[in-house]
Protein backbone atom coordinates (compact mmCIF):
# COMPACT_ATOMS: atom_id res chain seq x y z
CA UNK A 1 0.00 0.00 0.00
CA UNK A 2 1.51 3.35 -1.00
CA UNK A 3 2.24 5.86 1.77
CA UNK A 4 -0.55 8.23 0.64
CA UNK A 5 -3.11 5.41 0.88
CA UNK A 6 -1.95 4.59 4.41
CA UNK A 7 -2.30 8.23 5.43
CA UNK A 8 -5.78 8.41 3.93
CA UNK A 9 -6.81 5.21 5.71
CA UNK A 10 -5.49 6.55 9.04
CA UNK A 11 -7.40 9.83 8.63
CA UNK A 12 -10.59 7.98 7.67
CA UNK A 13 -10.26 5.71 10.71
CA UNK A 14 -9.80 8.72 13.00
CA UNK A 15 -12.84 10.48 11.50
CA UNK A 16 -14.92 7.32 11.86
CA UNK A 17 -13.83 6.97 15.48
CA UNK A 18 -14.94 10.53 16.19
CA UNK A 19 -18.35 10.11 14.50
CA UNK A 20 -19.14 6.80 16.18
CA UNK A 21 -17.60 7.31 19.62
CA UNK A 22 -19.69 6.82 22.74
CA UNK A 23 -17.52 9.33 24.59
CA UNK A 24 -18.69 12.94 24.97
CA UNK A 25 -16.66 15.46 22.91
CA UNK A 26 -15.35 17.12 26.08
CA UNK A 27 -13.90 13.78 27.29
CA UNK A 28 -12.45 12.98 23.87
CA UNK A 29 -10.65 16.33 23.86
CA UNK A 30 -9.44 15.86 27.45
CA UNK A 31 -7.96 12.47 26.49
CA UNK A 32 -6.34 13.90 23.35
CA UNK A 33 -4.82 16.81 25.31
CA UNK A 34 -3.48 14.33 27.85
CA UNK A 35 -1.84 12.28 25.09
CA UNK A 36 -0.48 15.34 23.29
CA UNK A 37 0.97 16.69 26.52
CA UNK A 38 2.56 13.36 27.44
CA UNK A 39 4.16 13.11 24.00
CA UNK A 40 5.17 16.80 23.71
CA UNK A 41 3.35 17.00 20.41
CA UNK A 42 3.18 20.71 19.62
CA UNK A 43 0.95 20.32 16.58
CA UNK A 44 -1.42 17.97 18.40
CA UNK A 45 -1.74 20.48 21.23
CA UNK A 46 -2.14 23.41 18.82
CA UNK A 47 -5.11 21.75 17.10
CA UNK A 48 -6.75 20.21 20.15
CA UNK A 49 -6.51 23.14 22.53
CA UNK A 50 -8.74 25.00 20.08
CA UNK A 51 -11.03 21.94 19.85
CA UNK A 52 -11.09 21.57 23.65
CA UNK A 53 -12.16 25.19 24.01
CA UNK A 54 -14.96 24.74 21.51
CA UNK A 55 -16.06 21.57 23.34
CA UNK A 56 -16.43 23.61 26.53
CA UNK A 57 -13.25 22.90 28.50
CA UNK A 58 -12.17 25.95 30.49
CA UNK A 59 -8.81 27.63 30.04
CA UNK A 60 -7.97 26.79 33.69
CA UNK A 61 -8.70 23.11 33.07
CA UNK A 62 -6.73 23.02 29.79
CA UNK A 63 -3.71 24.72 31.38
CA UNK A 64 -3.98 22.46 34.42
CA UNK A 65 -3.94 19.31 32.27
CA UNK A 66 -0.86 20.62 30.45
CA UNK A 67 0.86 21.10 33.83
CA UNK A 68 -0.32 17.75 35.22
CA UNK A 69 -2.80 19.29 37.65
CA UNK A 70 -6.13 17.58 38.28
CA UNK A 71 -7.60 20.35 40.46
CA UNK A 72 -10.14 21.52 37.85
CA UNK A 73 -11.37 18.04 36.85
CA UNK A 74 -14.72 16.60 37.90
CA UNK A 75 -15.02 12.91 38.81
CA UNK A 76 -15.72 11.68 35.25
CA UNK A 77 -12.95 13.83 33.78
CA UNK A 78 -10.51 12.68 36.46
CA UNK A 79 -11.33 9.03 35.64
CA UNK A 80 -10.55 9.61 31.93
CA UNK A 81 -7.41 11.65 32.67
CA UNK A 82 -6.02 9.11 35.16
CA UNK A 83 -6.82 6.17 32.86
CA UNK A 84 -5.03 7.89 29.96
CA UNK A 85 -1.95 8.83 32.00
CA UNK A 86 -1.61 5.38 33.54
CA UNK A 87 -1.98 3.61 30.20
CA UNK A 88 0.61 5.89 28.58
CA UNK A 89 3.17 5.90 31.39
CA UNK A 90 2.67 2.51 33.07
CA UNK A 91 1.34 0.62 30.01
CA UNK A 92 -1.55 -0.67 32.13
CA UNK A 93 -4.08 0.73 34.59
CA UNK A 94 -4.77 -0.03 38.23
CA UNK A 95 -7.93 -1.87 39.23
CA UNK A 96 -9.17 1.30 40.94
CA UNK A 97 -8.64 3.39 37.81
CA UNK A 98 -10.30 0.79 35.60
CA UNK A 99 -13.31 0.61 37.92
CA UNK A 100 -13.67 4.41 37.91
CA UNK A 101 -13.55 4.71 34.12
CA UNK A 102 -15.87 1.72 33.70
CA UNK A 103 -18.39 3.34 36.08
CA UNK A 104 -18.16 6.63 34.22
CA UNK A 105 -18.28 5.41 30.60
CA UNK A 106 -19.27 1.74 30.50
CA UNK A 107 -17.40 -1.11 28.86
CA UNK A 108 -17.77 0.16 25.29
CA UNK A 109 -16.80 3.66 26.39
CA UNK A 110 -13.58 2.20 27.82
CA UNK A 111 -12.92 0.45 24.50
CA UNK A 112 -13.48 3.77 22.70
CA UNK A 113 -11.08 5.48 25.11
CA UNK A 114 -8.31 2.89 24.57
CA UNK A 115 -8.76 3.21 20.81
CA UNK A 116 -8.66 7.01 21.04
CA UNK A 117 -5.48 6.92 23.14
CA UNK A 118 -3.85 4.57 20.63
CA UNK A 119 -4.89 6.71 17.65
CA UNK A 120 -3.45 9.86 19.19
CA UNK A 121 -0.26 8.16 20.38
CA UNK A 122 0.22 7.19 16.73
CA UNK A 123 -0.69 10.67 15.48
CA UNK A 124 1.72 12.27 17.97
CA UNK A 125 4.51 9.91 16.91
CA UNK A 126 3.97 10.78 13.25
CA UNK A 127 3.82 14.52 13.95
CA UNK A 128 6.94 14.42 16.12
CA UNK A 129 8.92 12.12 13.82
CA UNK A 130 8.38 14.42 10.86
CA UNK A 131 8.68 17.56 13.00
CA UNK A 132 5.39 18.98 11.81
CA UNK A 133 5.48 22.61 12.90
CA UNK A 134 2.71 24.18 14.92
CA UNK A 135 1.58 27.77 14.85
CA UNK A 136 1.40 29.55 18.18
CA UNK A 137 -1.67 28.55 20.15
CA UNK A 138 -4.24 31.31 19.69
CA UNK A 139 -5.40 33.06 22.83
CA UNK A 140 -8.80 32.15 24.20
CA UNK A 141 -11.65 34.33 23.06
CA UNK A 142 -13.57 35.97 25.90
CA UNK A 143 -17.18 34.77 26.01
pLDDT of the chain along its 143 residues, tens only?
A: 555 655 566 555 655 666 778 999 999 999 999 999 999 999 999 999 999 999 999 999 999 999 999 999 999 999 999 999 999 999 999 999 999 999 999 999 999 999 999 999 999 999 999 999 998 888 887 66
- Render the burial of 23-38: b for 16+ CB within 10 Å, e for the rest: bbebbbbbbbbbbbbb
Angle formed by the axes of helices 95-129 and 75-90, to 10°? 60
Chain CA centroid to CA 85, Å: 10
CATH number of 22-129: 1.20.1290.10
Residue 137: the pLDDT is 87
Residue 138: the pLDDT is 85
| φ and ψ at residue 8, rounded to 5 degrees | -60, -45
Q: Where are the domains of the chain?
A: 22-129
Q: What is the pTM of this model?
A: 0.89
Amino acid sequence: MPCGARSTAFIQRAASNERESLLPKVIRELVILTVGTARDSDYELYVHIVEARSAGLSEKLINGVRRGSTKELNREQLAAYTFTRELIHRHRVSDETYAAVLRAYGFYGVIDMVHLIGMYLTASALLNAFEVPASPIPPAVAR
